[in-house]
Amino acid sequence: MTVKATNGGPPSAATRSAASEGPALIELFQVYTGSPDSIGARFGRDAARRQAELPLVVATGADIALYPGRGARPAVEPFRLSTRGFKELAGVSHLPSALVTLARQKAADPGGTWRADAQALLAATRAAREENDEALWRDRIAVAAYRGRERAIAAMVDYGCTITEAMLERSLADDAYLSAERLRADYVTGPAAGLPVPFNRVMVATFFLAGMDIAHRIIAFFDRHEVPWEQAMVVVAGRAGRPTAGVTQDTNSVAGVIRAAARGRLPDRHLLIAPHAPVFPAFDGEALDAIAALEPEYRQLWASVRATSDLGEDMFAGYPRFVPAVAAARLAPDARSVGGMPAVADPDDWFALTTRLRVVLEDPRQLLSGAVTDFASRQLVANDNTPSAVTVPGLDGEPYPDLEPRADHWVTSDEGAGR
């Protein structure tokens, strides 16, 4: 069929579309799946009605809502916005990334802004060290999951800031010093400079503490409500961290906490990651109306996806079924690459723990702060959700001494000896 131009010009988009469409074939598409009254749409609504009494869990980037079913009002646990100490810990855990960024800036443009940026970071690090003490963590930040560890956390933060100050001072004083190679050897993984504790352990500890707090509260919330996990419908809705993160079960840290809280009772196929689903407004402690109003849409979403997925058995029985791969694999001692988060054998498995730090940086699917949240969740479940019974890798048992920053070497405050 030839499409004629109008008024001597090219055919319009509407003309081209109308000429290329097959109306009967388009109608065939509409009958099954392309309209609100299609066979597929009615199939999904019917499935949602049949499951209206089942418990539904919806997690957003800030809250978890439990819809009990039968029209009951939801219960909500705010877990992100109420995370006290998260930004304070994140500021410390990001220090190595900041220094390596400065090294890249310097390599790309030695006369650029890296020196001014380094001076700004040095001033901020000094101010943070001055503010940090045990009372800050015990009385002002006051996280229940950190109770009993406030002195250790303050010592770790002081140590992390102190060695960072020294690295920045040396980098500013010696133009030949700042590089990724020197930072790795003297600061991040060391211990070429004789550090008592390399900074990768501080990074793991800060990420673990933040994840442990979130997991502790989420697990307690679900335990209070005695969720029948075998029947539960779970939707993780909206964006998680950077735009590419958390789009699969094995890369979404909240999904990992929910699975841990279910203690093996939640079928893998009952948990859906829905990055484009609507997100209810952050819970303010009172207004539930906006959260309750979205329940039918969430139920429709879950039921429709699962109902369509169930057609696979009817159509292709006898062929291999899909099972989500959510179990982390053990890391071989000579491994050169990994395809996902490696399993952590125990809190002293520093090869796996440090590899996880690299994975969350390099894998766009990962949430940066979720490097060890799943590990923290499993430890909590294994210890009856008691944070004091959990080993925090990089904090518990580490020798964090009082140090004085020096541009050339480390000096302990009480010994006055070079390290």
pLDDT of residue 13: 54
pLDDT of residue 150: 97
Q: For residue 233, tell me if it sits in a domain.
A: yes
Identify whether residues 164 and 209 lie together within a single domain.
no
343 within 8 A of 185, measured Cβ to Cβ:
no
Identify whether residues 110 and 94 lie together within a single domain.
yes
Identify whether residues 244 and 389 lie together within a single domain.
yes
Report the C-alpha gap between 242 and 377 in whole angstroms: 22
Identify whether residues 183 and 230 lie together within a single domain.
no
Identify whether residues 233 and 302 lie together within a single domain.
yes
Identify whether residues 56 and 192 lie together within a single domain.
no
Identify whether residues 265 and 185 lie together within a single domain.
no
Q: For residue 228, tell me if it sits in a domain.
A: yes
Report the C-alpha gap between 414 and 259 in whole angstroms: 46
Report the C-alpha gap between 244 and 255 in whole angstroms: 16
Residues of the chain with pLDDT under 70: 1-20, 81-82, 191-193, 326-327, 403-419
Distances (CA, A) of 235 to 59, 271, 272: 6, 6, 5
Identify whether residues 337 and 226 lie together within a single domain.
yes
Structure tokens at 68: 């009990």
Identify whether residues 121 and 169 lie together within a single domain.
yes
Q: How far does CA 383 lie from the centroid of its chain?
A: 23
Identify whether residues 273 and 378 lie together within a single domain.
yes
Q: For residue 24, tell me if it sits in a domain.
A: no
Q: Is 58 left (phi over 0), alpha (psi -120 to 50) or beta?
A: beta
Q: For residue 351, tell me if it sits in a domain.
A: yes
Distances (CA, A) of 198 to 17, 175, 332: 63, 23, 23
Q: For residue 37, tell me if it sits in a domain.
A: no
Q: How many residues does the chain have?
A: 419
Q: For residue 7, tell me if it sits in a domain.
A: no
State the pTM of this model: 0.87
Q: For residue 154, tell me if it sits in a domain.
A: yes
Report the C-alpha gap between 160 and 154 in whole angstroms: 10
pLDDT of residue 82: 64
Identify whether residues 68 and 183 lie together within a single domain.
no
pLDDT of residue 259: 95
What is the number of structural domains in the chain?
2
Domain span at residue 383 reads 42-80+204-281+294-308+327-397
Identify whether residues 275 and 382 lie together within a single domain.
yes
Q: For residue 239, tell me if it sits in a domain.
A: yes
Q: Tell me the angle at which helices 199-225 and 86-93 cross, rounded to the nearest 10 degrees.
A: 150
Report the C-alpha gap between 321 and 323 in whole angstroms: 6
Report the C-alpha gap between 129 and 56 in whole angstroms: 44
